Amino acid sequence: MDQARNGHDSRSIDPAAKEMLRIADREGYATIWERYEQQQPQCSYGQLGTCCRICSMGPCRIDPFGDGPTRGVCGATADTMVARNLARMAAVGSSSHSDHGRKVALLLKAVANGSNTDYHIADPDKLTAVAERLGIPTAGRSTAEIAGDVAAVAIDCFGNQGEEPIVFMEKYMPKKRFQRLRELEETLYRTTGAKTGLLPRAIDREAVDILHRTHFGCDHDPLSLVAQSVRCSLSDGWGGSLIATELQDILLGSPIIRPVKANLGVLEAESVNVVVHGHEPILSAKVVEMAQSPECRAAAEAVGAKRVNVVGLCCTGNEVLLRQGVGMAGNESHSELAIMTGAVDAMVVDVQCIYPALADLASCFHTKFVTTSEQAKIPGALHIQFEEHEADAIATRIIKTAIDAFPNRNKARVYIPQHTSTAIVGFTVEEILKALGGTPQPLIDLIVTGTIKGVAGIVGCNNVKVQQDFFHRTLTEELIKRDILVIGTGCWAIAAAKSGLMDLPARELAGPGLQAVCGQLGIPPVLHMGSCVDCSRMLNLAGALADHLQVDISDLPLVGSAPEWTTEKAVAIGTYFVGSGIPVHLWPLPPILGGPQVTKILTSDAKDVLGGWFFVEEDPKATADRMEQIIMERRAALGI
């Protein structure tokens, strides 16, 4: 495969990735890009969403261009198939985030009742703020009592069997949005005579509801299936993800604005390198902490290493980057490339976004590939089971595994591309408000005067179908040039960090208004808000603006994008943005285009009903044009 010519590589725009891909080509290491080529041509029924294998009379497929049957064996239409497939994606994505949130809630309960002593309440102020928001009394009560009550409310959001909306959503969602969804439910009942819920009743219940209604012979109505996808996704954004973010801040500390380094150059030739990869910082934060212990430092020195250097990948990397200032090795498509440096002594993974191919690749090196979760076992990996109540001991054992591997490193094979960028990170809602003097009013004033036209939230992954980071970077540059402040999370945030867009000099790339604001506040034009679950921070920022102005989120000049999306979690995020009233751009194409009715609901009807909708566009500049146009239309509607 010759994808690299004259410095151009159709696989990635990242300079470190390009160097590593030259090594991969030379040495014959398999990568996602090579396996993608081997998968061609990919199934067009799958791409359009019109295949169904829900029952054993299938699999059935419908050619949307009219060749062949127009219904599955049971009579299901293309729209039913597309809507059911989409609903299942939303359920899986929501469940992944929410199950992560559940574990944090259970840990908070264990810390509160004293059964876990490896963790503690790291941010009592945040605990008080969350408790007050939930209506939990705080005056004269101990931290443990308050934490116990917060944990109980969070845990109840997962399994409550009542019909009322989940408490976290009720207390956090801006009032006008909550009212709109409630009125919409009532209108749909009145006009159709059928119940169509939008406000989630319990986090687990909405995902189970989708598994039930997409069982053979249940819900075949595309609108009903899309509505439940929205409800389930809202239970993620305003439920599971929100709980994960808020409770992690309480247990692990709230992020502060700080500089970090990003890209493969954070690996150190003379140190034991441990890469943490996945999503749940309950483990990775401990690995970072225990790497500094006298025991681990002495063990590293004993094998001739300078120190234990823990660096991050993907979202668990984002979590430790924000809270502990840990260097960021890269985003999703960097995971194989990191191992190929030959300098990674252990890659420690928890859950989500971990290629199974990493186990094979690690076996070509001295690298220990360590799985830790009962939910993410990978053949060929070394499994060290993580238990929260023995976190210190297990994290130490993991680090010692890396230290033991260090002497086996073949120095002749080590190549660390010397690329890093500085990124100023940690822009939580609290930190943004602090920078603004404690209220959203200065940001609102800047938007009203047009100094900043609006805010774009960008999220999501790398996708082998898009040149790595190209869409992320080009779209972000285009938006800031137009005086649109860009905020975001996940692998997009890592792409922006690697490309220098989160460093102060990047303000030179911004339009005059945004440039002046960045100069005044001493911030970059592109703000890192965290990991995938921290998309809830973006919802909270939108909610703070909406409540301050007493409007709905859908009235604000806000727009979203997932320009290199890959996972089912991205489907859930995009859908809860839409359900919260924010228009969302997607690329690559979502697997819905084979269902004309579903496509119309999501790209057109949703606009009037929810105030948020999806649109697809493959060109970054055209995407920025459309996002700017939406922002300008919303400004005009507000009379600004």
Cβ at position 602, least distance to ligand SF4 in Å: 21
Known binding residue 74? Answer is: yes
Site string for ligand MSK, 516-555 (x = CB under 6 A): ---------------xx-----------------------
Q: Does 43 show up as a binding residue in the annotation?
A: yes
**End-to-end C-alpha distance for the chain, whole angstroms:** 53
Is residue 497 at the binding interface for ligand MSK, with CB under 6 A as the rule?
A: no
* 52 appears as a binding residue in the annotation: yes
457 lies in the site for ligand MSK, by CB under 6 A: no
Indicate the length of the chain as a whole number.
Answer: 640
Q: Which is nearer to ligand MSK, 391 or 573 (CB)?
A: 573
Residue 328 touches ligand MSK, criterion: CB under 6 A: no
- Report which residue type is found at 460: G
Nearer to ligand MSK, 184 or 527 (CB): 527
332 binds, among ligand SF4, ligand MSK, none (CB under 5 to 8 A by kind): ligand MSK
Measured N-to-C along each axis, helices 391-405 and 294-302 cross at an angle, to the nearest 10 degrees, of: 10
How far apart (Å, rounded) are the C-alpha atoms in residues 599 and 597?
5
Nearest to 341 by CA among 15, 20, 615: 20
Q: Amino acid letter at 235?
A: S
Q: Choose among ligand MSK, ligand SF4, none what residue 353 binds, the Cβ cut-off being 5 to 8 Å by kind.
A: ligand MSK
Residue 439: exposed, middle, or buried by beta-carbon count in 10 A (0-12, 13-18, 19+)? exposed
CA separation for the pair 564, 567 (Å, rounded): 10
Sign of CA dihedral 429, 435, 439, 442: negative
Out of 49, 165, 240, 460, which residue is the one contacting ligand MSK (CB under 6 A)? 460
Residues that bind ligand SF4 (CB under 6 A): 52-55, 57-60, 72-74, 76, 216
- Binding mask 570-609 vs ligand MSK (x if CB under 6 A, - otherwise)? x---------------------------------------
The type of residue at 512 is P
* Residue 319 to residue 590: CA distance in whole angstroms: 28
Cα 548 from chain centroid (whole Å):
26
Q: What is the rounded CA–CA span in Å between residue 69 and residue 603? A: 26
| 495/430 Cα distance (integer angstroms) | 24
Contact 101, 240 (CB under 8 A): yes
Question: Closest-CB residue for ligand SF4?
Answer: 58
Q: Is 315 in the site for ligand MSK (CB under 6 A)?
A: yes
How near is the Cβ of 125 to ligand MSK at its closest, in Å?
27
Phi, psi of 486 (to 5 degrees): -110, 125
CB 105, min distance to ligand SF4, A: 36
Q: Which is nearer to ligand SF4, 73 or 622 (CB)?
A: 73
The residue from 112, 461, 541, 544 that contacts ligand MSK (CB under 6 A) is 461
Interacting positions 226-285 with ligand MSK (CB under 6 A): 279
With a CB cutoff of 8 Å and minimum separation 6, the contacts of 638 are 551, 555, 556, 557
φ/ψ (deg, to 5) at 503: -100, 155
Residue linked to tokens 């339009």: 511
Is residue 223 a contact residue for ligand MSK (CB under 6 A)? no
Region binding ligand MSK by CB under 6 A among candidate stretches 59-67, 253-261, 380-388, 567-575: 567-575
Binding site feature residues: 43, 51-52, 55, 60, 74, 279, 315, 353, 461, 491, 532
Binding residues for ligand MSK (CB under 6 A): 279, 314-315, 331-332, 352-353, 460-461, 490-491, 531-532, 566-567, 569-570
